[in-house]
Every structure is written in C-alpha cells, then in structure tokens.
C-alpha cells in the first residue's frame, strides 16, 4: 500500500499513518445533534470525512466507519445555569415527542448527506440506544477514582486525573492551570462541582425532563462527551485508529473524551485525531443568529440575498474540494461561480478523455513521461494529508494535456496506450470514487432524453386516437431506425434501446 501521511492534532505534526492492524482502519467521526436542520457547516465537515473515508477505501483498507447521531445529552448554551437538553427543549417547544424531533432531523440529515453524495457510515449508533454502555463506562471511571457523585449527578474529577499524571489539555493545547480556573462545560449548578473544570458524566433530572433513564445514581441522562467515548469503545475498541470532528469540538468535547477513555480504560481512544476547519460566509463565521448564513436548500435554489443564482450540489461539493480540510473555507457567490466553471471543465475533461485512445508504439516520449508523473503526483498529493486542492490542480494540468491531445496540439502518437488507460483509470477514480462527484451533465442529458421520449410517445398516442395511422407508423419506424423500440403494455407505452 502506498504511504499515507496525516496531520495528527494530538502531536501537532504530520505523521506517517500506520494502522493498528494491518489493512484495517477504525474511524470514528462525531455526528450531528439532531434538533434542527443540518447546516452547511455540518455538511462541509461530513463531506471532508467522506472524502477521507473514500480515499482510505480506494487505497485498499477495510474501514469500519462509525458516525454517531447525538439524540440526548447535548445541552443548550452555558450550562452552569442549568442548561436544557437541545432535543428535549425542541420537543417541548414544538409539542412533539423527543423521538419525533430526532427522527425528523435525522431523516433530513440523511437526505442531505445523499444529496451531497456522501457514503453512509458502516455503523450509525445513537446515544439513546447506548445508555447501558454509558452507565457501565461511568461506573468504571468511578471505580478508578476519577469521578465523584453529587446529588445523584456524577462528575469527572479533573484535578485528581491531572494529579495522577494524566494528560488533560494535551489534545486541545489548553494549559491545565487555565482549565482549572474556567469551565464551559456541562454543569448543572456551579456549586455542585468540586472544581470548575470538572464535567458531568451523568446528570440527575426531574420529571420535567422528557428524556431520562434509571441509573445507580439517579434518574437522569448521560453527558454529551460520554456518548462518543462509550460508542467508539463499543464498536472500535478502547484504542482505535482515527477520531475526527470539526475543530470546534477539540475542546471540551474531544479533550473530555480522551479523559473519559483514559479514566475508564487507561487507554487514549485514538492514535490519530483529525480536525476539519470551519465554513465561513463572505469572510465571517457562518452563523444563523446574525443572519450570516445560507441553508443547503437556499444554496440549491439561489433564494438568498447572499447569492445571485442556485448551484448544483455537485458544484458545491467541488467547491469544498478546492480547500484543504484543515483550512477555513469561505463561501461567496463569486467562488461558487468559479467552482461551477471548474466543475464543468473537469467533467468535460472526463468525456474528452473517454474518446481518446493511445498508440501502441512503446516509445516513452517526454509527453508520456509527463502524464505518468502527473498521475503519480495526484496520488502523492492526496496521500499527503488528503490534499484535495493540490490533487485537483494536478487533474486540471491533466485536462490541459487531454484537450491538447484532442485538439491536435499534442500528438496522440507520443502517448502509449497503457498510459492512456492508466490516465482514464486514475481520472475516473479521482472524480467519482475518491472525490465522490457525480456527472450531473450526463444525468441532465438523460432527463432531457426521457422528457423527449415521453413527448414522442404522447404524440403517437394522440395520432392513434385520431386514427392518423401514417403519423403513428412514421414515429415507430423512425425510432426503430434509431434502434429505439416502443412497447405497448396495459400500463401505457415504454421505450428501450434495441
Ligand atoms: P453539531 O451538530 O453542532 O454537533 O455539529 C456536527 C459537526 O459539524 C461537528 O463535527 C462540528 O464540528 C461541525 N460543524 C459545526 N459548525 C461548523 C461550521 N461552521 N463549519 C464546519 N463544521 C462545522
Ligand atoms: Zn463526539
């Protein structure tokens, strides 16, 4: 397998990727909290991980990709003031069952993932389906002395954890002393915690809470950080290959996941931590509250003050590929217009390449070598921490060669048949398997063909009902000359290629 380098947030270094078990990869990505429509920022993060997943599969790894659904435990706002569970709150406001809220937005999330052509994960566990595992994990942390119980709630004991030499703050780069001073985490009542940096593992809840479960400590619900520790451990083991999520999750969510896993299993959960950067709109963080946001739906229809027109989801996906996953990505109308042109040029390159065939001279010319080395560089860029913008740039260099070969500026006789075959294989692998783009132009063409065929079928039907046999026969004969066959059945007329 070709060497792969990844930037590990834990070491803050680019590292050679070495799976824990030869040929196999365990990948965990924090999924969405399903209490509102999925926003474009979420789509960027999950699309980045989809491309990473696709590339690992393409390299030949067997990947178990676990991406959870958070349906309990994620509290609203600063929690020191008794923050409410986001899903519970939505259910209360909309007079719905919490599971109705979860189902509605999980469905919407799945639809959006499929619109962007993201592959489903291998396992998509939900937090509410793993309460037993979460209770077990809390018990282990308590048994190991890293948690304490207060009024039926359980808190992680950060000073004790740190005093025993454990690395709290290592992933997020936070200074332990600062952490001990401040807290932005799940805290029901400030006075209940021994220390501001402690965080809730289990939260006691009264009957006003719509989602609560019995536990050895109280009727309540688990803390948000705990679900990912419990579910990643269950499906990937206490130590697995890659943990991912948006960079905004590094602290406290991922830092606390590390602490919980170490506290319960004495092992750090993941060998490599990968974090994707944020999506901006016109240079500012995309945010619903100050009006600086565009929904995926608005992006497709163009119904937004920020846009001059609607864009195809594949253009948006192409736009995302143009930035490295660790860089911020600024969504602007101009950038989308440019992406639309780029996407078309890339797809046209594919069709032009399809019509080319190389000679069999066996002479490796300079041009031949240039193409071979561009193919290799495309892989090298992608294997260098999944550098999609660089790999895309190589493909565009190849498009220039492809167009030159088609237009006659470059000689097809200078390229060996096997190089053309390799180029076709690589180009199509990158476009469709790795970048996950779809050829909307051909889909658009097939819609037009379907529409035209339906029109012809309707005209023939009309002619027959008017006993205009000449027209009806002419339609059938002309289609037959084009190798298209009409079949009259009890449900109407269908067509097929002969
Ligand atoms: P949430 O549903 O808020 O828990 O977020 C789900 C995923 O989307 C997390 O990995 C977040 O880091 C990521 N995310 C949230 N906002 C953005 C944004 N503006 N840009 C990129 N990713 C984001
Ligand atoms: Zn998580």
pLDDT in tens, 386-436: 999 999 999 999 999 999 999 999 999 999 999 999 999 999 999 999 999
The answer on pLDDT for 184 being more than 70 is no
Q: What is the mean pLDDT of the chain?
A: 91
**Residue 405, number of CB atoms within 10 A of its CB:** 22
Structural domain boundaries in the chain: 31-276, 280-440, 445-497
CA gap 194, 182 in Å, rounded: 13
Query: Which of 41, 186, 251 has the most ligand 1 atoms within 8 A of CB, as the residue to mutate?
Result: 41
Residue 496 has pLDDT above 80, yes or no: no
Between the alpha carbon of residue 390 and those of residues 145, 279, 326, 374, the distances in Å are 49, 19, 13, 11
Residue nearest to atom 1 of ligand 1 (CA): 32
Architecture of domain 280-440: Orthogonal Bundle (1.10)
Nearest CA to ligand 1 atom 11: 246
> What pLDDT, in 10s, does the model give residues 79-127?
444 677 888 888 888 999 889 999 999 999 999 999 999 999 999 999 9
* 284 touches 292 (CB < 8 A): yes
For residue 196, what pLDDT is reported?
A: 85
Residues of the chain by 3-state class (helix, strand, coil), percent to 5? 50, 15, 35
CATH number of 31-276: 3.40.50.620
Which residues, other chains included, contact 59 with Cβ-Cβ below 8 Å and sequence gap of 6+? 1, 2, 4
Tokens of 233: 């451990």
Least confident of 210-219, 428-437, 479-488: 479-488
Read off the pTM.
Answer: 0.87
Tell me the HSE value of 127 on the side-chain side, using a 13 A CA sphere.
27
DSSP β-ladder status, 24-29 and 62-67: parallel
> Angle at which helices 255-265 and 224-236 pack, to 10 degrees?
60
Question: CA 230, CA 224: separation in Å to the nearest integer?
Answer: 11
Q: Is the peptide bond before 472 cis (omega within 30 degrees of 0)?
A: no
Q: 3-state DSSP call for residue 382?
A: helix
Q: What is the pLDDT of residues 38-89, one digit of tens each?
A: 889 999 999 999 999 999 999 999 999 999 999 987 887 544 446 778 888 8
> CA torsion sign, 128 to 234 to 51 to 277?
positive
pLDDT of residue 45: 96
Show contacts of 405-408: CB within 8 Å, 24+ apart.
405/356, 406/352, 406/355, 406/356
Has residue 190 got a pLDDT over 60? no
**Count of other CB atoms within 10 angstroms of residue 457:** 18
Residue 23's φ and ψ, nearest 5 degrees, are 80, -5
pLDDT value of residue 192: 84
Atom number of ligand 1 nearest to Cα 249 = 12
CA–CA gap between residue 150 and residue 133 (Å, rounded) = 21
Residue 448, pLDDT > 80, answer: no
pLDDT > 90? residue 280 = yes
Q: What is the Å distance from ligand 1's center to 147 Cα?
A: 29
Work out which ligand 1 atom sits closest to the CA atom of 287: 19
User: Which of 32, 42, 105 to probe ligand 1 with, by most ligand atoms within 8 A of CB?
Assistant: 42
Q: How many Cβ atoms sit within 10 Å of the Cβ of residue 247? A: 18
Instruction: Provide the phi-psi class of 399: left if phi over 0, else alpha when psi is between -120 and 50, else beta.
Output: alpha
Closest ligand 1 atom, CA of 70? Answer: 4
Q: Which of 2, 3, 20 is nearest to 272 (CA)?
A: 20
Tens of pLDDT, residue by residue over 347-377, are: 999 999 999 987 776 677 999 999 999 999 9
Cβ(246) to ligand 1 under 6 A? yes
How far lies 491's CA from each of 78, 98, 460, 472, 488, in Å?
60, 44, 16, 19, 8
User: Which pair of structure tokens corresponds to residue 437?
Assistant: 């783009």
Q: Residue with structure tokens 């996407």?
A: 343
| Residue 81: per-residue pLDDT | 46
Higher pLDDT, 483 or 316: 316
- Answer yes or no: is the C-beta of 348 below 6 A from any ligand 1 atom: no
Q: Distance (Å, rounded) from C-alpha 495 to C-alpha 455? A: 12
- How distant is the alpha carbon of residue 303 from its chain centre? 25
- Residue 278 CB less than 6 A away from ligand 1: yes
- pLDDT for 356 equals 93
- Give the CB-side neighbour count of residue 273, counting CA atoms within 13 A: 24
């Amino acid at each position: 397998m070709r060497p792969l380098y990844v930037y590990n947030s834990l070491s803050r270094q680019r590292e050679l990727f070495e799976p824990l078990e030869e040929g196999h990869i365990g990948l965990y990505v924090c999924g969405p909290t399903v209490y509102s429509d999925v926003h474009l920022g979420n789509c960027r993060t999950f699309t980045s991980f989809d491309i990473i997943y696709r590339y690992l599969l393409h390299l030949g790894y067997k990947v178990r990709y676990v991406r959870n659904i958070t349906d309990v435990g994620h509290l609203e706002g600063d929690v020191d003031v008794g923050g409410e569970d986001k899903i519970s709150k939505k259910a209360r406001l909309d007079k719905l069952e919490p599971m109705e809220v979860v189902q509605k937005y999980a469905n919407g999330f799945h639809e959006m993932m499929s619109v962007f052509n993201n592959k489903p994960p291998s396992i998509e566990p939900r937090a509410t389906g793993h309460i037993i595992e979460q209770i077990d994990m809390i018990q282990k942390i308590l048994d190991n002395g890293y948690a304490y119980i207060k009024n039926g709630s359980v808190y992680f004991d950060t000073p004790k954890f740190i005093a025993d030499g454990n690395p709290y703050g290592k992933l997020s780069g936070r200074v332990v002393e600062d952490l001990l001073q401040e807290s932005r985490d799940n805290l029901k009542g400030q006075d209940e915690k021994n220390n501001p940096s402690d965080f809730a593992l289990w939260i006691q809840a009264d009957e006003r809470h719509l989602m609560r479960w019995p536990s050895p400590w109280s009727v309540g619900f688990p803390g948000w950080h705990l679900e990912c520790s419990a579910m990643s451990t269950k499906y990937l083991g206490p130590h697995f290959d890659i943990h991912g999520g948006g960079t905004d999750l590094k602290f406290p969510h991922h830092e606390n996941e590390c602490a919980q896993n170490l506290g319960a299993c004495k092992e750090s959960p993941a060998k490599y931590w990968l974090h994707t950067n944020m999506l901006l709109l016109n240079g500012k963080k995309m945010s619903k509250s100050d009006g600086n946001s565009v929904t995926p739906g608005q992006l497709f229809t163009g119904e937004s003050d920020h846009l001059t027109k609607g864009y195809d989801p594949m253009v948006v996906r192409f736009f995302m590929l143009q930035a490295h996953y660790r860089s911020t990505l600024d969504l602007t109308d101009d950038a989308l217009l440019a992406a639309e042109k780029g996407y078309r040029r890339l797809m046209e390159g594919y069709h032009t390449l399809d019509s080319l065939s190389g000679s069999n001279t066996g002479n490796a010319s300079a041009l031949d070598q240039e193409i071979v080395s561009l193919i290799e560089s495309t892989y090298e860029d992608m294997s260098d921490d999944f550098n999609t913008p660089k790999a895309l740039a190589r493909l565009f260099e190849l498009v220039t060669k492809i167009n030159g070969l088609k237009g006659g500026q470059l000689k097809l006789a200078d390229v060996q048949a096997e190089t053309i075959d390799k180029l076709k294989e690589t180009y199509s692998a990158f476009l469709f398997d790795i970048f996950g783009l779809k050829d909307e132009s051909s889909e658009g063409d097939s819609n037009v063909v379907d529409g035209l065929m339906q029109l012809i079928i309707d005209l023939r039907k009309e002619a027959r009902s008017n006993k205009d046999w000449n027209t009806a026969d002419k339609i059938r004969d002309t289609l037959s000359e084009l190798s298209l066959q009409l079949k009259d059945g009890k449900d109407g007329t269908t067509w097929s290629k002969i």
